[in-house]
Structures are given as structure tokens and as C-alpha cells.
Amino acid sequence: MELSAADLDALVSEASAVLDAAVTLFLEGHRADSAVRKKGDDFATEVDLAIERQVVAALESATGIGVHGEEFGGPDVDSPWVWVLDPVDGTFNYASGSPMASILLGLLHHGEPVAGLTWLPFMNDRYTAVTGGPLMKNGVAQPQLTPCKLSDTLVAAGSFSADSRGRFPGQYRVRLLENLSRVSSRLRMHGSTGIDLAYVADGILGGAISFGSNVWDHAAGVALVRAAGGIVTNFAGDPWTPASRSALAAAPGVHGEMLEILRSTGDPEDY
């Protein structure tokens, strides 16, 4: 099945209505307690589970396309067509009462993000985009990103513990942020990958780095950034795919500067 730009716009319109219907549940569940303990110190709230059930059922009924959700899984993300859903991105923020949380929904075609929706209910902002752009914010087309310098922009990074291990050890992250701060002292840590990527697309951030590998954290935002004229790769500079183990999203110009800083910081395995 091949879909035209008009078909994608129609799917985004249907999906927008589905996400709008979940906003009340999202807002009412603020500060929800942990319900499901996941890997490490991760968890899900009852709201995560309820929103995913509601959105999956409504999306599949409205569009006929399966949904791969963070909490319950679903069709393979390399399927010909599949929605990828994160019902509450920034769960720690959400459970703590911070407004920096979002609902993320991406549409993948053989693993390629072709549409993205990012809802920020506490800010009353809705971002959508399809391949080819433009980025839409609250229904209004936004200007394309233009080349800029890292020193002139805000930059966001994922959170961490300095003593943590894993694929990107805490000390590697500390050194990377130190190196970034030498060029841009305007570092931010929002605790929501989806918000970081949406803000790159919107030109609020010049760039963002994600140490995560979960496709549901990235799919929607990758579509938004690329539609806005930005660049999304992994830390090695290869185009982002659902198999990527990291993400670097930035405006033209900033992306190249951040990639050079990543390379100069060295191999995470050495930390």
C-alpha cells in the first residue's frame, strides 16, 4: 500500500482526533503513582496503560493500521505501515507533577518515519508533520529551520547519574556535556525526549542529544525535525532508524558542530 501526501494528511487528522480524546485522561492523571515496575528504575503509571489501550483501539479502528505501543508492544516496527506510540513520555516528570510530559505518536513506513504527532497537554501545544513538511504547530505552518551556530542556541540532553554504567556511562555523559558547554553554555535537561525533539523542530532548541534507543521515544520527533528541515542521526552521524541506539537532532549547522564534539569526546567504552 502506497500513500500520497494527501493520504498522510488524512491519517494525521484522524490520529489528531484520537490523541485529543486522550488529553482529558492525561491531564486528570497528573502525579499518578507508579503502577508497573519495568527494567531498572523505569516504571509506568496507570495512565500510561489506560491511554495506550484507548489510543490503540481508536487508531486501529479509525485507520486500519496497527499500533506498536511502549507498554503492550504490537506489530513489528519494520512493518509496511505501523503507528508507534508513547502514551506518556517523561513519566518521571509526569508522576512528580512536572508539566514536561507529552504523548508521542509516529507513523513508520518500512521503518521510515513519515508522520509525527507530539502533544504537550500541559502547554496546550500540538505538533504534527508529514514527510516533506511543513511542521505544523497548533494547526499553523511553521517556517523551515535555517542554518545557525551552536554558540547561539539552546541545547538539550538526556538525564543521567554520573556513576551509572551501561552503553553511555555517566562519566562519558559528563564529559560530553562539559565539551558542549564550552561552545554553548545554554544546556537544558527537560527529561522528555519527545519534547526535546519537538523543540528542535520548532527552533526553540538548536539541537538535542538522546542516549536512549527506544523507537517510541524518537519516531514522532524524528518526523517532526526532518519535516522542519533539521537533521537526525545517531551519534556516529548515520541517519536515524528504529534500530539506532542513540539520536542527535539539530538544525543545519548545529548538527555538524555537535557531531564533531561527539567524535572528539571519544568512545563511550573508554569511560
- Answer for the pair 103, 51: CB distance below 8 angstroms, yes or no: yes
Q: In whole angstroms, what is the distance from residue 271 CA to residue 199 CA?
A: 30
Q: Is 42 within any annotated ligand binding site?
A: no
User: C-alpha grid cell for residue 86?
Assistant: 508513547
DSSP E strands, 91-175: 102-109, 112-120, 125-130, 136-137, 140-141, 155-157
Q: Is 78 annotated as a binding residue?
A: no
- Residue 97 corresponds to which cell in the numbers above? 507533577
Give the span between the Cα atoms of 121 and 204, in whole angstroms. 18
Bridge partners for 141 per DSSP: 136
Please indicate if the annotation marks 89 as binding a ligand.
Answer: yes
Distance between CA 151 and CA 267 in Å, rounded? 24
* C-alpha cell recorded at residue 80: 509496511
Start-end of H helices in the chain: 5-28, 46-63, 91-96, 170-181, 193-201, 215-227, 254-265
3-state secondary structure of 123: coil
Say how many residues make up the chain: 271
CA proximity to 108, closest of 12, 220, 210 = 220
Grid coordinates of 73: 508492544
Stretch (H or E) spanning 169: none
Q: Which residues are annotated as a binding site?
A: 70, 86, 89, 217
Q: Which residues are annotated as a binding site for Mg(2+)?
A: 70, 86, 89, 217
